[in-house]
């Protein structure tokens, strides 16, 4: 459990919930909601195997109800609704609606999930299998098919999917989200509230510069 407290201090999943009591409760059949103080924002993390279920405020090897046993999914949706890849299987994907995951498997043989189309496509040399790779020293692993997505690595397996804020991409070397500077020129700073802009040039695509607008001007 200590591991999840550490992870939870860094990552918040799902919709923000205000704590009414101190302690841990089940947010869903596979996620745990933890509160360190009243009126604080709850920290929601996903249980993983060999204890993938949430039961009585802790991760368990057994479901807490018949409903959880029947409708169980170990996939935890991030903040934003949308279609997300599965970290372990190329032919599985998940659609998140209002924080609930709906699981799908590509029905046609030799088909894989395509992040470009958010659907299943026939696997070819140009449309291959995308899987995040968790290595020994890595805490997070980028999703090869979409660099705005990355996974938390637990026991060398991708568990929780996360998405960078708009205008950012995940840098595997730095293990954090950075400005998505893909071509030369000036772009709006996603975090600058229209008072700063990003200067991208050929030599600084990996390390873009943030600059302030001239006085009384905005982007």
Nearest to 13 by CA among 41, 44, 36, 53: 44
CA gap 29, 56 in Å, rounded: 10
CA gap 105, 88 in Å, rounded: 12
CA gap 105, 202 in Å, rounded: 41
For 93-152, what is each residue's pLDDT tens digit? 998 888 778 889 998 888 999 988 889 999 887 778 889 999 887 788 999 989 999 998
Q: What pLDDT, on the 0 to 100 scale, is given for residue 8?
A: 36
Nearest to 4 by CA among 55, 49, 50, 59: 59
Q: Is the pLDDT of residue 57 over 50?
A: yes
| The model's pTM | 0.60
Helix (H) or strand (E) holding 69: helix 66-71
Q: Is the pLDDT of residue 40 over 80?
A: yes
Around Cβ 99, how many Cβ atoms within 10 Å? 17
CA gap 3, 5 in Å, rounded: 5
Q: What pLDDT, on the 0 to 100 scale, is given for residue 192?
A: 57
Cα 4 off chain centre by: 16
CA gap 115, 87 in Å, rounded: 12
Domain ranges of the chain: 2-71, 77-166, 181-219
| Cβ proximity of 168 and 178 under 8 Å | yes
Nearest to 35 by CA among 54, 9, 61: 9
Q: What pLDDT, on the 0 to 100 scale, is given for residue 7?
A: 38
């Amino acid at each position: 459990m200590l591991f999840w407290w550490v992870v939870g201090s860094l990552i918040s999943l799902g919709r923000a919930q205000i704590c009414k009591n101190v302690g841990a409760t089940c947010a869903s059949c596979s996620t745990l909601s933890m509160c360190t103080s009243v009126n604080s924002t709850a920290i929601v993390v996903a249980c993983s195997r060999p204890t993938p279920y949430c039961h009585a405020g802790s991760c368990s090897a057994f479901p807490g109800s018949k409903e959880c046993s029947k409708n169980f999914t170990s996939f935890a949706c991030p903040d934003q609704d949308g279609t997300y890849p599965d970290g372990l299987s190329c032919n599985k994907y998940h659609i998140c609606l209002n924080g609930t995951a709906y699981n799908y498997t590509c029905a046609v043989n030799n088909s894989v999930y395509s992040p470009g189309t958010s659907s299943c496509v026939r696997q070819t040399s140009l449309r291959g299998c995308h899987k995040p790779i968790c290595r020994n020293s890595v805490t997070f692993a980028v999703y090869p098919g979409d660099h705005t997505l990355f996974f938390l690595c637990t026991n060398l397996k991708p568990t929780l999917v996360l998405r960078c804020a708009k205008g950012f991409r995940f840098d595997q070397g730095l293990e954090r989200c950075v400005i998505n500077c893909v071509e030369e020129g000036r772009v709006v700073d996603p975090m600058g509230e229209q008072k700063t802009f990003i200067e991208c040039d050929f030599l600084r695509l990996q390390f873009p510069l943030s600059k302030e607008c001239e006085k009384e001007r905005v982007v």
